[in-house]
């Protein structure tokens, strides 16, 4: 073997070894660390949490709007009941002032007694 062939073989071996080291280092540098995976997991979890919190906030807004509507309906029903009670009392008083006796009222249902406090 001549000197040139030896240098060619040695330089080929050195290039092969350098390529192997560069490949190993590149693979090692490109691998994902446990911290990277944890950070990605945290990102996934926080994204899910933000989505769920947004969904819950929308649901809460819907429930608050429905409660507001129900509150307004209850208030209106209370005003209507008060008006009707006053109207019945007025009619009863008018009938009695005419010297007549109004017909007997049917019994008040149990569920209505807690809301109606009068002696009609």
| Rounded Cα distance, 68 and 60, in Å | 12
Give the pLDDT confidence of 75-92 residue by residue, as tens digits: 998 889 889 889 999 999
Joined tokens for residue 28: 């090692």
Is a pLDDT exceeding 50 seen at residue 66? Answer: yes
Q: What pLDDT shows up at residue 23?
A: 79
Q: Supply the Cα-derived Rg of the chain in whole angstroms.
A: 44
Choose the most confident range, by mean pLDDT, from 19-23, 65-69, 100-104: 65-69
What sign for the dihedral angle of Cα 112, 114, 115, 116?
positive
Total-model pTM? 0.49
pLDDT for position 78: 86
């Amino acid at each position: 073997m001549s000197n040139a062939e030896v240098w060619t073989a040695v330089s080929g071996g050195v290039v092969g070894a350098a390529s192997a080291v560069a490949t190993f280092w590149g693979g090692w540098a490109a691998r994902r660390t446990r911290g990277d995976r944890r950070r990605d997991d945290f990102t996934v979890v926080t994204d899910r949490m933000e989505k769920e919190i947004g969904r819950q906030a929308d649901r809460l807004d819907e429930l608050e709007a429905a409660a507001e509507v129900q509150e307004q309906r209850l208030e209106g029903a209370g005003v209507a009941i008060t008006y009707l009670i006053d109207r019945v009392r007025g009619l009863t008083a008018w009938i009695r002032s005419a010297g007549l006796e109004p017909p007997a009222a049917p019994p008040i249902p149990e569920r209505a007694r807690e809301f109606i406090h009068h002696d009609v």
